[in-house]
Structure 1
Amino acid sequence: MKGVPLKIRSTASYSGDTPGPGPIANRNEASVDSELTVLPIFLHHISGETPNPYFQSFRAIGDLENATLLLVCRLDAPTAATVRRMIVDAIAAEKSGLWGRAYVDGAHNTGGGGIGIGDQWLAEIAGQLHKVGIPAIYEDTPAIFPEGYPMTDCALYYGWYAGGVAGPFTEPDFRFVPGAIAVHIHSFSASTLRDPNSNWVAPLVSKGAAASMGNVYEPYLQLTPHLDIFNDRLLHGFTFAESAYMSIRVLSWMSVMVGDPLYRPYASWLQIDAPRDSTKSPADEWKMYHAFAVKNIIRPVSEFRALARQVASASHNCPMMEDLALMEARGGHFAEAASHLQQARTCYAQRDDILRVALEEADAWLKQNQPKRALELVRNVLRTAGDAPGAPLLRKMEQDLSVPSTSSPAKP
């Protein structure tokens, strides 16, 4: 988007403006795009934010009478080639469906100041994804996904809270699946869209994401897009623009939405009478899990998981096996999780998938206070995948597990 400014810097005052008290109402910096959204409202003030009348809506913008906002998105990136690829990928993914795995990186930040709400959004997303059969890796420790982490087949990414791009996204060979949507919560995640290595939005789209969201200045967490609402609306077939603006509480503020506004990544789910393609496709295992989940989600949890395990095992659906195992782990059933992860590990053929499941399986053994089983597993996998990009993560685990435990000295 050449020639269109990204943000409006703070200035001492504007003629006719009446700033209010507090840290929000007296600020006059903003995202250009967010200011454009309120043009139909004819605001007389400049400082502060404006309530979003579309927040939490569940209706397409075209169905509203006298809509008083514009859903402003921008097609922007470090290079024109990236923008063209974002458009092409969005069109293709909308036709065939966005298939792959979701990675949700919670900060597990339950401290004061209201910031724990971010983790609540991300935890809710993990639940939403399981209901529709999208395999989800949910990281809920304070650490982000580390560098070298085998983040394969990434179709959705939600995370926080690092100041600049980090972890797997810094790997030279990392790529999202075409049409992917990726968002990382940070105050200045979209401070620039021209540098593929700065902040978050520009690096994410440079690595293959078709759409992202961010902030140009400090927005305060509650006034950023509520990612649980955003993800929910995407899954229900709304466009990227509709989902983004349904998720944000205020306008005339700091947010910027980057991507094709009409992109509907899950529109194909709503096509009940769509013709079925009988040819074998790499997306078949993702489609199968989605179809199973939608059909059987009303079953009791134990019945759903038992039937899902049978189906996954019979069909050799590796992502489905792994996802069911991680559900068991989140429920505290670590013995069942370890058993299912072992099955998933032997199911996968790709080295990075095997390595990721080995990390998950070792963690399940550790949660059962069986470090020897974890160490044996790690060493076995390193023998066959010692040169993989993620192998240092296993070596670090091996090193930690190899340190002999120190016992308290006997009292004389």
Structure 2
Amino acid sequence: MKIITKNERNSNERTVCSLKEIEKRKIVEHNDLIMSVAKMDKTPLKIFELAVSCIDTEKLPKNHTVYLSKAELFAFFKVDDSNKHSRFKEAIKVMQKEAFFEIKEEAGKGFKFKSIVPIPYVEWTDYNDEVLIRFSPEIMPYLIELKNNFTQYALSDLVELNSKYSIILYRWLSMNYNQYEHYSVKGGRRNGQLEEYCNPSITVKELRAITDTIKEYQHFPHFENWILKKPLEEINAHTHFNVFYDKIKKGRSIDSVVFHIEKKRQADDTSYKLEDKAYIEGKKAKEETEKDLFTEAMQSRYTTLLLENMLLSPFEMQDIKLMSGLQAHVYPLYDELKDLRGLNGVKDHLSYVSSKREEYSKRNVAKYLKKAIEQYLPTVKRQELDHE
């Protein structure tokens, strides 16, 4: 998190948060807070998100306090009329008296429920541009020193979201897609689990709960219009995501919704990720693993056999991703065949594969070889059982 300016006030160090570099600012929150029920309207929720983006996640704000600029606060909400000050006061009043989070956490054999007013104190003057915002101590564990189960997203994605439901849905989608990005780099999840992260499912009941619409929009077409269609129109137009969804029926009713999330290719994607320590560390670990696998593949007898059968070219041998993929996913299957039929069995298989190789396989060698051995191995195993 980049700190814009620092100075002293009443001998206490403080941070003034600027929106001038909004594209670089991020919001980091615990997943329990993402899954909580936001009992507040759009404006208090956006003020909260804006204030959270000012927190250095590795350093506790002094007195749980951050400072915003009024001018930039109004710019964030795109407010430029003469009533903006009175509207701001009204929003603060509502946020302190009516806005809170209902958080549900697993505890022992059941659940623990918390009701937290996130920002109980706000201070400003009519002659100064700064606004003091103080978080409640109870909300801070969900915002700082987060080691796991947290979600990070760009503040800039929220600027044009004009619906409470758009913001809530965007946060939930980010929570799932973040896990997809994290585990696709660092590993630790099966392909099926990765697919679920970028195609997350939620029951209508759960979606009603987190959007606080259990008693609203009882007619599903109305619910779909206000909670799904309109929010996704905003999300697709103004955030890093493109999202569409499928409705899943159970009997005659819509039981759940499956979202399909794609991240837009943008010029700032790389720079955005480069600031993410987990991404950098994960990328380095993945590159080291690929190098180790590449070295093993270059020394493998199977690589020589692939060359002899013209299933691999010297040019392709220079491709680290290709060779590490063969070592990780194909060569272990050749080991199984070798245990059953010996090295000559592997040679016979590759000779046959080479004679039947289709044109499309030239564009994806590893996929073709993996599919071929996966189809052949069960036959060999059945033959061995019959022989026994």
TM-score between both structures, scaled by the size of structure 1: 0.24
Higher strand share: 2
Higher helix share: 2
Q: Give the greater-gyration-radius structure (CA).
A: 2
**Higher RCO (CA 8 Å, separation ≥ 6 residues):** 1
